[in-house]
């Protein structure tokens, strides 16, 4: 699922992104007031794809790196060699049901976190 999401995102394949997302998906984001982020959850695959498309244009060159997070699978977002965000991914019934985006610099800190450095 993560590989398909990465490929569809990199290719700008909106139809494939919609296919991968649960129609009732929710995207939550945390910018901490320091960087732009949606202040309220975004519901529905069409709205989520619209937001992701806008983010892809605004942050052209962002690289998605699959990673195992404390809460499950996700991605580290890298731009110009620096971590600019983390996305937690929840999958249900073979589709992505939830995306939790953290771009708040105060929560990102150094990457990888020291607790994961020995893993």
Dump pLDDT digits (tens) for 42-86. 999 999 999 988 888 888 889 999 999 988 999 999 999 889 999
Whether 93 maps to a domain, the answer reads yes
Q: In the structure, what pLDDT confidence band is assigned to residue 2 with cuts at 50, 70 and 90?
A: confident
Whether 26 maps to a domain, the answer reads yes
Q: How many domains does the chain have?
A: 1
User: CB neighbours (10 Å) of residue 84?
Assistant: 17
Residue 117 token pair = 């450095």
Distance of CA 17 to the CA centre of its chain: 13
Question: Above pLDDT 90, what percent of the chain?
Answer: 57
Whether 99 maps to a domain, the answer reads yes
Q: In the structure, what pLDDT confidence band is assigned to residue 99 with cuts at 50, 70 and 90?
A: very high
Helices and strands counted in the chain (H then E): 4, 6
Whether 69 maps to a domain, the answer reads yes
Whether 10 maps to a domain, the answer reads yes
Q: In the structure, what pLDDT confidence band is assigned to residue 97 with cuts at 50, 70 and 90?
A: very high
Whether 115 maps to a domain, the answer reads no
- Tell me the residue range of the domain where 66 lies: 2-106
Taking the C-alpha atoms of 9, 35, 28 and 92 in order, what is their torsion angle to the nearest 10 degrees?
Answer: 30
Q: Which of 99, 49, 47 is nearest to 74 (CA)?
A: 99
Q: In the structure, what pLDDT confidence band is assigned to residue 113 with cuts at 50, 70 and 90?
A: low
Q: Is the pLDDT of residue 14 over 70?
A: yes
Q: What is the CATH number of the domain that holds 69?
A: 3.10.450.50
Whether 20 maps to a domain, the answer reads yes
């Amino acid at each position: 699922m993560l590989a398909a999401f990465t490929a569809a995102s990199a290719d700008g394949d909106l139809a494939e992104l919609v296919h991968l997302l649960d129609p009732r998906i929710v995207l939550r984001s945390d910018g901490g007031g320091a960087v732009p982020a949606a202040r309220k959850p975004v519901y529905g695959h069409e709205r989520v794809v619209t937001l992701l498309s806008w983010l892809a244009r605004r942050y052209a060159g962002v690289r998605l790196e699959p990673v195992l997070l404390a809460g499950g699978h996700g991605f580290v977002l890298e731009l110009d060699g620096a971590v600019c965000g983390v996305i937690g991914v929840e999958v249900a019934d073979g589709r992505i049901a939830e995306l939790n985006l953290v771009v708040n610099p105060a929560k990102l800190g150094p990457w990888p976190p020291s607790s994961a450095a020995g893993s």
